[in-house]
Every structure is written in C-alpha cells, then in structure tokens.
Structure 1
Amino acid sequence: MSKLQNSNITLPFIDYIPAELKENKVWEIVYYAIDPYETKANNRLKRKRHRVRPFKCKKERRIYAKSIIIRLNQQLMRGWTPFDRVNNSPIQEQEPPKKVKLFEVFDNYLHQIEQQTKKDSLRPDTLRAYTSYIKNLKVYLIAKKQENAAVSYFNEKFCRDFLDMIFYERKNSARTHNNYLGFISLFNRWLIKREHLKVDFTGNIDKIRVSEKIRTIIPLKERTEIFNHLKETNKHYFALCYTAFYCLIRRTELSKLKVADVLLKNGIISISADVSKNRKSQVVTIPSQLIHVLIDHLKNANNHDFLFSDDNFKPGETQLEPKKISDTWSKYKKKLNFSKFYQWYSLKDTGITNYLHLGIPTIDVRNQARHYSIKQTEEYLPKTILKASGTIQSAKLDI
C-alpha cells in the first residue's frame, strides 16, 4: 500500500496534495490537507473524499468532477482548509444551483457591458452591437416559445440552430454569421466564469469562409458630380465626405472628433486613442485640397464642439450618430441615380487606391489610413500599377 493511500500521512513543508478523481466502483474526489484545528499539531495530511453524483453518461460526470477539482485546488493553493473548528468535516458537494432564466442572465450581462462603457473600458459601438445580438437571440427564443428557458438551454445545439437561422433563413452574410459566433463565444466564456455553464462548446462550431472583400472604387466622373452637388446643397456634409476621402478617417471616428483635434497650422488632424478604432493615438495629414474646405467649415466653431455634430453636420455640441452619415449618403446616391455599389465607405477605399495610383509610398499611405500593416495597405494596390519582375523576365531559363 502506498503512503498516499493512508488516511493520514506526513510530508514536510507540504500543506496539501491536489485533488484528483478516482473512477472506481464508487467515483470519488480525493485530496489531502493539513487540519489547522488538530489538537495535537503534527503536520499530518488528512485524506478527504467526497463522492461524485452519477450522470447519464461518463463524459458529463467527468466534466462535472473536473469543475469541482479545479475549484478545490484553487482554494487549496490560496491556503483554504476543508476543515472547521466544530467537526473537521471536509467541504461538501454544493447543492445544484437554482434555476436561472437565460433572459435574466442576458440582462445582467448587458448591464455589466453598460457599466464598462460608462467607464470608457468599452466603446459605445461595442455596447450597441452586443445589445443587437442579445435582442435577436431573445427574439429567436420567443419564437421557439422558450422565453422562460433556463440558462442551461444556451448550449451547442441551440447556438447551432440560431446561427443556421442567421445564415440560411435570414440569408445574412458569412461575415455576419461569424460576428454572431464571435459574440456567442465571448458570452459563453462569461457564463463559464460566472459558473452558469461548465463547458465551452463554441470551439466545435466552425466559422463560414468569408469571400475576399470587393472594394468598389468611385470613378472620377461620379466623384466630381457628387462632391459638386454636396458643395452646393450641404457644405458641411461635403466637408465630412471630403475629410473621409482625403484623410481616410472612418465613420465612427468622424462622429467623435472635436474641433480642437484639427490643427490647421500644422496641417494635421489628431485622432486620440479614445476616438481611434485601433485604440492608438495617431495623426493624419490634411492635404492642401482639404485645408480651405475645413477653414470654411470651422468658422465660428468652438474648440470643445464636435467637428461634425448632429446639427446637420455643422460643428456643434451634440454628437453625431455614425449611421446618419451613411443614411445621408444613401439619400444623395439615390437622388443622383448612382450605382448601389457606391457605399459611403467607398470614399475611403477610393482615397487609398488613388494615393497608391499616384505613386505615394505605401508606408505613407499606410500611416494615413492607419492600417495595422503594409500588407493591409497593399490589398488596395490597383492591378494597373503592378509591374512584372525585371529579373524574372530577363532570366536565361532554358527548357
């Protein structure tokens, strides 16, 4: 019989032996710990055991046992003792938690996200996206008559069915499917940390392959037409679109910029970390074609104003909703009978492509667009400026 099979053993400088599962006729979790309340202190490790309740299948039983073992070992490592002063009894298996409704957990999760957003730990866009995801999950549950379902209903089958509905029934894109999967994975891990669930099943659900993004370039003729029209009818929205085209600034970033961020004397716009999508403070250059437009746009503006506000895109105190930018673009696009493929973000794509076509060094374009790598910028390279390798062409390679 080994020493570890004795109910009491002595090991110098050791306070405990980690818990482990014994799958015998009776499944038990076994571990050893010092009893600090022992009348005669002798540094003996006492064996503690408790049974693992049965499940329908061994796999679920092992998973359940593992969760208890992890918790026990974490407590033992922190110096916790399974004994008490009264009867030195070990920790008992916890009673099954009360049924918690999935809807309530959704609301609790969103409440935490709202608090993090208020403290600037998360972006408002993140809150909006998560709110939308949960809203659609709730709608799906109600359609399935599961509005009172327990949190355990949030399992692999449910999530697969929901994602199939998103992709096959609603005919959303692969990117949308994958975005939902990303959120489900995040929420699932949150549930595990709060001990609502025990298993991360999302690794079993595959992403759908996303086709390469097609970038639509707005031709010079159409570009000139819409810019001239905006200049005559809505000069402040014209300034916004011009800024997006020349400075390659994203829609949400434009809605957060303040007048003070525009340094006309230096010819730059400062984009702080709390404004930037990538959470990095950077600057972009204001080309000479844009300077006079911004000077006109900023007449009588205060430094604390938003650069483009909700007041018809003028500088002002009320922050602009990013969606209003693209909605306004759609209105003008329809009015001018432009192609549906000319989206608002096509302005930024067109600006990047034009800079590269003009021979601007890729590194400068990358910095202006604030891409994470040169490779990302090179995806915009038009085929017309790509050239054959001279060394390959002149290579004397015989058959």
Structure 2
Amino acid sequence: MRNKLPYKLPTICRCKSGEWYLQYAYEYPEQPGRYKTFKVKDGINRIHDPKLKEMAARELQADITYWLEVLNYNPFEEKKDIIKQAMAEIKAKSTPPHWTLSEAIDRFKANVVKKNLSKRTKETYDNYLSNLIAFLNEFPDHDVPANSFTEFDLISFLDVESDELDWSPRTYNNYIGFYQTFFNTVNKLEKAITRNIKYEFSLTGDEYKTSNSQKNKAYSGELKTIIKEELVNNQNLSDYIEWIYLSLMRPAEIRALRFIDIDKSKRQIRIIGKTGDRIIPISDQLLNLIKKRQHRAHTINDFVFGMAGEVSAIQIGRDYFPEKYAVIKKQLGLDHNYTLYAWKHTGVIDMIYAGFSDRDIMILSGHKTETAFAAYKRDLIINENNVMKGATINF
C-alpha cells in the first residue's frame, strides 16, 4: 500500500477581486493528519493579460508540484524570513490590536500634513516609504504590527535595496536616518493612544556605512575559495554569483534578464538598467554558464534566474538570493558589507590584475567615463605597479 503523502498538491485560486494565488498544504511535523496551508503568488498578479496570467499560474502550479514530488521540498525545513516569524509570533499572542505597518505609515503621513512640512520634504518621505512598501508587498504576510519591526528587518531590506540599486554609502545612511525618524515618530503617536506599547526598533549607530571602501568591500582569494566550497550544495546561488562576477551586471539587471536578451551568435547581452540601454560582450566563461542555464529553459522569454532561483517564466523576488547568501555569511562570520554586489567589485579587481584595460572593463561595468571608473577603481585597489609593493626599508 502506498504511504500517505505529507502534502496536498497546489491548486489555483482565482479571487473575484482579481487577486490570484497558488495554495498547497503540508503536514505539520510530528502532528500526523494536521496540515498547514501555504499561499504563493510570486508575481502572477503583476500580469494583467488574462491568458498570460493563466499561463503563469499554471507554470507556477507545475513548479510547486515539481518541488514537492521530485525535490522533496518541505516548507517547514526552509529558513523563514524575519517578517513571517514576526507574524507568527504576533498571531500566537492574545494582545490588543496594535498599528500595522500600513496603519503606521498612514498615521505618519497624516502627522507630516499636520506639521505643514514643505512639498519637497513630503515627496522625499513618500519615496522612502514607497520603497519599503514595495519590498514588503512581496511577502504574503507583510503587514506586521509596526512595533514588532526591528532594526534587523530594516538592515535586511536596505542591504537588498542597496545591492539592487547600487546605492552610495550616503544614500544608504539617509535611509537609515529617515527610518529612525519614522519609528521614533510612530512610537510616540501610538503611545499617546496605547500607553504600554513597546517598539522593538532600536539603532545603535553601528548600522551606518562610513566609507566607499566598506561599500566596495571585495573578496580576497582565500575567502573566494572558502565561499565557493560553501556553494557546492546550492547550484543556483553559485551560478548567480558566478554570473555577477563574470558579467559585472547589477543584481537588478540580472533579475530582469531573459534568454531573449542574449545573442549567443554575436556574443552579446542587451541590458536595460540603471545606466540605460547598453550591450555587454559574452566571454568564453560566461557563454559556458549561459549554455548551462539555457539547457533548462522552456521558452526564450524565460528568466535566466527566475522563481526560486530556477530558470522560469516568473521573475525572482529581490530577497531570494540575499536570504540564501545571508546563511553562508552567518556561517563564515562575514559582516553586512560583504554583499552579493561585492562580487562585481571582486570581478573588476581580478580583471585588472589579469591585464585587461580600463576601457575593456568599463564596457562590462557600465561606467560612462574614464574619470568615473578611475574614481571607482581607487576605492578597490592600489595601483598594481606601485613601487611600495616591492622592497622598501628594513626594520
């Protein structure tokens, strides 16, 4: 007799409101017969064409089925993100209702209007908050109580955004400064209504970035070897890091990359990103990686790194690879300045020492001028021919 499966296969839920999601169930560990329901959206609601939306939903259904049946995926063994943990903890407690993040944001905006701040200040605040909202909306249970949000949640968000958008340390610190103001303000506003409210958010100052050298922290040869060994059991993450290293593309550019953007015959990739529409060449090493990924593609419209890091018609979430990489960084004791984006800096350094010219590297890196690239390079290395690298004075 066939053993009872610990899961129930996914079904497509098409709500009248227009929101679609996939729903599957998995048996609670050590609680036979009791199942927890999981919902997965992964971007299908951003598709407005009904036929394309139906195709995306069915492909997502097939992917989840594959994870469960073939890969033996168990959601209870996955690393839970901080926001979902916070939601579970809050729901488990019988506490009076507190402001959710959405409500806290609305109260903060109302307070800004009440203070009659300038139009420019209001627009700046709206920009900071809209970025956080967009990030949180990628999670099913995103609207957690505002008082449960911690500085660790914030740093997780900022590190992903910084990698995606190539922020300067100044921009990074401006965001930290704003959110310190935001949580201090909503804490006071909510405390005026609920006296015993306590906010978890607390910054010490160590979270600020102080220099470009921190932002551009690259990986030494020894550290590269150690990390590559840790990546053996996570092929998608390994491919993703290798892609950054070889192509010097930004994470946001890679997330948006489809096979249709790659011309293997002309050995070039078309990118639309921060620096605008540009074309980069394909090296022999990058071509091998492209062939390896394309072998798993269904159509030329598939994302090279799609949902769950696989080749897929569904775009991957911004936090997927940073979360996976955070586990490795924690194991190795690396601080938050060692980012996925730092593999681009490492690639630039290795190309310089391999003898490639600045102009050749600039075609990959996206720098518009030699002056800009020279300033960037100064934050990465001392001139490779500097005489102080040779024999100097004896002690």
TM-score, normalized by length of structure 1? 0.46
- Work out which structure has the larger RCO, using CA pairs closer than 8 Å and 6 or more positions apart in sequence: 2
Higher helix share: 2
Report the structure number with the largest CA radius of gyration.
1
